[in-house]
């Protein structure tokens, strides 16, 4: 069993195994302080990388010949850092102003919704949604155990059945950014999505995916871009997290992804997908449960 700091470091390096994902998720759920520690580590890493990139760009503009900073996280090797040690590290990058901002910044978290699919009359639309805050896609409601698959929590879950001529089956949901609480001029915010997937067939390598896209358009306009447009060029921001599960693994798998909410974003589309890791894998059903969506707000306190 890995310690929590190593799990966080592996998460930041995108190096978690399926077993590590489950272990990290259990640790996060065990105590609110654990979630706070995780959030602080993620923010610290982002600010460190931003500082390193800014320094590299500054040196490049000045004509210095310097190797690019490594993309993998190694900052957590020195954790837990004292404020003085952290200040020294930032000083190495000539970013003491950034350090002061990070130390004083307030990090707040808020659960936007926690979905266990327990509502018996929950509306489930087909295809990519045309309206806000409703689940849509290929998903089918399942009450109780399906074969040897039991809901992760509660009595219900949803199935993502195989679709002919498509590698993935999908569950979608539009989130209305107008409903988010306001933030100050110096604030930033992120949306974090965690979902539990299950691949029921043994001997099949599964691939689970979370994609998050922010749009300046409303739901109808965003849907048009997702279906027919150029997502990377026409959306404000698009991120994806994919996990391949070994054939020997069997059970629920945790996948987590996070997106910065750009200024001007009206909606964020959450896309949850499951399918075979390769096209030649047999078409099998997958399951989805316990979807958690959190708002993470970072804002400097008022003087």
DSSP, collapsed to helix, strand or coil, labels residue 126 as strand
Residue carrying structure tokens 């909606």: 267
Evaluate whether the domain defined by 112-299 bears CATH number 3.50.7.10: no
Instruction: State how far the Cα of 168 lies from the Cα of 279, in Å rounded to an integer.
Output: 10
Cα-Cα end-to-end distance for the chain: 44
Q: What is the pLDDT confidence band of residue 279, given thresholds at 50, 70 and 90?
A: low
Residue 122 token pair:
């929950």
Q: What is the pLDDT confidence band of residue 148, given thresholds at 50, 70 and 90?
A: confident
Angle at the Cα of 163 from the Cα atoms of 208 and 153, rounded to 5 degrees: 45
Nearest to 287 by CA among 153, 133, 190: 153
* pLDDT of 266: 96
Angle at the Cα of 258 from the Cα atoms of 256 and 260, rounded to 5 degrees: 175
**Higher pLDDT pick, 9 / 44:** 9
Per-residue pLDDT tens over the stretch 168-207: 999 999 999 999 888 776 678 999 999 999 986 777 788 9
* pLDDT of 78: 40
Does the structure show a pLDDT above 50 at 91?
Answer: no
In terms of C-beta density within 10 A (0-12 exposed, 13-18 middle, 19 or more buried), how is residue 109 classed? middle
Does the structure show a pLDDT above 50 at 57?
Answer: no
Instruction: State how far the Cα of 193 lies from the Cα of 253, in Å rounded to an integer.
Output: 14
**Higher pLDDT pick, 39 / 257:** 257
Rounded to an integer, the average pLDDT of 237-259 is 89
Instruction: Report the interhelical angle of 18-30 vs 32-61 (nearest 10°).
Output: 120
* pLDDT of 214: 97
Instruction: State how far the Cα of 11 lies from the Cα of 111, in Å rounded to an integer.
Output: 21
Structure pTM? 0.68
Rounded to an integer, the average pLDDT of 269-290 is 87
Instruction: State how far the Cα of 174 lies from the Cα of 134, in Å rounded to an integer.
Output: 7
Strands 206-215 and 267-276, bridge-based pairing: antiparallel
Ordered by start, the domain boundaries in the chain are 4-104, 112-299
- Among 17-26, 133-142, 235-244, 262-271, the minimum mean pLDDT is found in 17-26
Rounded to an integer, the average pLDDT of 145-155 is 90
Does the structure show a pLDDT above 90 at 5?
Answer: no
Residue carrying structure tokens 């979905």: 115
* pLDDT of 81: 42
Which among 88-92, 185-189, 231-235 has the top mean pLDDT? Answer: 231-235
């Amino acid at each position: 069993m890995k310690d929590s700091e190593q799990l966080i470091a592996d998460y930041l390096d995108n190096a978690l195994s399926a077993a590590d994902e489950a272990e990290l998720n259990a640790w996060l759920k065990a105590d609110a302080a654990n979630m706070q520690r995780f959030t602080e580590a993620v923010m610290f890493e982002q600010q460190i990388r931003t500082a390193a990139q800014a320094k590299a760009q500054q040196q490049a503009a000045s004509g210095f010949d310097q190797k690019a900073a490594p993309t993998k996280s190694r900052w957590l090797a020195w954790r837990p850092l004292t404020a003085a040690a952290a200040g020294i590290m930032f000083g190495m990058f000539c970013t003491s102003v950034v350090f002061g901002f990070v130390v004083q910044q307030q990090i707040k978290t808020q659960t936007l919704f926690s979905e266990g699919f327990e509502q018996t009359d929950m509306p489930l639309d087909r295809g990519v949604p045309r309206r806000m805050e409703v689940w849509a896609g290929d998903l089918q409601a399942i009450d109780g155990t399906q074969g040897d698959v039991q809901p992760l929590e509660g009595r219900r879950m949803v199935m993502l059945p195989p679709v002919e001529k498509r590698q993935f089956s999908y569950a979608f949901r539009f989130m209305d950014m107008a409903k988010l609480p306001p933030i100050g001029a110096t604030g930033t915010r992120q949306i974090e999505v965690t979902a539990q997937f299950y691949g029921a067939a043994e001997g099949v390598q599964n691939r689970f995916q979370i994609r998050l896209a922010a749009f300046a358009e409303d739901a109808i306009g965003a849907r048009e871009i997702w279906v027919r447009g150029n997502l990377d060029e026409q959306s404000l921001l698009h991120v994806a997290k994919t996990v391949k599960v070994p054939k020997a693994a069997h059970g629920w798998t945790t996948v987590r992804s996070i997106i910065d909410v750009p200024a001007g974003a009206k909606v964020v589309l959450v896309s949850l997908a499951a399918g075979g890791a390769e096209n030649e894998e047999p078409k099998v059903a997958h399951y989805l449960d316990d979807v958690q969506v959190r708002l993470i707000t970072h804002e400097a306190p008022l003087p």
